[in-house]
Amino acid sequence: MKKFIHIDMDCFYAAVEMRDNPALRDIPIAIGGSSDRRGVISTCNYPARKFGVRSAMATAQAMKLCPHLTLVKGRMEQYAEDSKKIREIMLRYTDIIEPLSLDEAYLDVSDSEQFAGSATRIAEDIRQTIFNETGLTASAGVAPIKFVAKIASDENKPDGICVITPEQLDSFVAALPLKKIPGVGKVTAEKLAELGLHTCSDVRAFPQDKFLKRFGKYGSVLWNRCHAIDERGLSVSRERKSVGIETTLAQDIHSFEEVWAVIEKLIPKLQDRLKKASPELAIHNQGIKLKFSDFQQTTMEQRMQYLNPTMFKTLLPKILERQQGRGIRLVGLHVAMPTKADSQQMAFSFGDLESSL
């Protein structure tokens, strides 16, 4: 059995706004264009949801439901930046990740070794780490098949987790309302209801040939879902799994010696993180990140098979060439792990070597 985690951020855009402006925390807010410009709500926080405000609703309608709703203009760049941070956190656990949107992704942790392979504990750790490092809450679903993991992440929102074990899978799916299955929209749900079909167990009791005839191509997918069959794996992005550690300095520093002193302190922490993320310690590259006093940041990497602390000393003068008189406000170190493709390529080149000997 596979182990999938689905992570979905809670009222994502609204949560970012509440984090960055605490005055918005306890009042109903929505992200969206104003009603006089025929705006639409992107999302809203939970206090606003109590009034019935929803994503994709016309702002005018939302203002009717909740007259003291505070409208906030969206900041896509900030949401994208938080999304990137969240993605980087996920990559510490597995590189088999399928992002669905800025705030949502599937992870396949079937072969992850952290927490003795417990997908539940991995999911809890991801949620905790996301909160520690971004101040945002995420909800998680854990299940042996993809679509159930997605449904599960919605069960205990916000800031919740729902685990469906292989033993619970069949009965969980049986009781599932059909409209919760991804792909079953309003129209399909109505067609199903006309046949008296409301839950997956209703479909199970329905004649298969009749069902397939009525619902065409999507019918067989839906039939399978109702029987807890979902053989899809993840469409994996090619991002490299990496770990890093960084520190923002109390005061800007300038010289090679000062930066090196910071790096020497970071190295053992980086080694710790690497050990946790990749017990065999193999890496693909190691690098340094600097953020200058004007907030411009830069990274430089060196290909390496194993972490070599003195390599940072070789890299440092090269990256400092980009300093151009500016102070340095942040120093970071990172290593990227080899992907499966890298290790296959390595085996291949060793093979070549052998055959040419």
Instruction: Candidates 9-17, 112-120, 250-258, 294-302: pick the segment binding ligand TTP (CB under 6 A).
Output: 9-17
Q: How far apart are CA 59 and CA 53, in angstroms?
A: 9
The pairs formed by 51-55 with CB atoms below 8 angstroms and a separation of 24 or more are: 53/28
**Are the C-beta atoms of residues 120 and 149 closer than 8 Å to each other?**
no
Does 9 interact with ligand TTP (rule: CB under 6 A)? yes
The conformational region for residue 141 under phi > 0 = left, psi -120 to 50 = alpha, else beta, is beta
Q: Scan residues 65-94 and list those touching ligand TTP (CB under 6 A).
A: none
55 binds ligand TTP (CB under 6 A): yes
Is residue 82 part of the contact set for Mg ion (CB under 5 A)? no
Interface pick for Mg ion out of 5, 8, 39, 141 (rule CB under 5 A): 8
Residues 95-124 that bind Mg ion (CB under 5 A): 103
328-336 and 285-292 beta bridge pairing: antiparallel
Q: Fill in the amino acid letter for 357.
A: L
Query: Which part of the chain contacts ligand TTP (CB under 6 A), choosing from 6-14, 234-242, 260-268, 293-301?
Result: 6-14
104 is catalytic: yes
8 near ligand TTP, rule: CB under 6 A: yes
Cα distances (angstroms) measured from residue 332 to each of 53, 90, 247, 325: 42, 19, 6, 19
User: Of these residues, 17, 98, 104, 246, which one is catalytic?
Assistant: 104
Residue 164 Cα to chain centre, angstroms: 20
Instruction: Tell which one of 92, 146, 157, 284 touches ligand TTP (CB under 6 A).
Output: 157
Identify the sign of the CA torsion 129, 130, 135, 136: negative
User: x/- contact string, 93-132, with ligand TTP (CB under 6 A)?
Assistant: --------x-xx----------------------------
| CB contact at 8 A, 46 and 176 | no
**Binding status of residue 329 toward ligand TTP by CB under 6 A:** no
Judged by CB under 6 A, does residue 185 bind ligand TTP? no
Instruction: Choose, by CB under 5 A, the member of 4, 5, 6, 9 that binds Mg ion.
Output: 9
| Contact string 22-51 vs ligand TTP (x = CB under 6 A) | --------------------xx--------
d(CA 242, CA 205): 48
- Which residue, 12 or 223, has its beta carbon nearer to ligand TTP? 12
C-alpha–C-alpha distance, residues 328 and 249, integer Å:
8
Q: Which residues bind ligand TTP (CB under 6 A)?
A: 8-13, 42-43, 55-56, 101, 103-104, 157-158
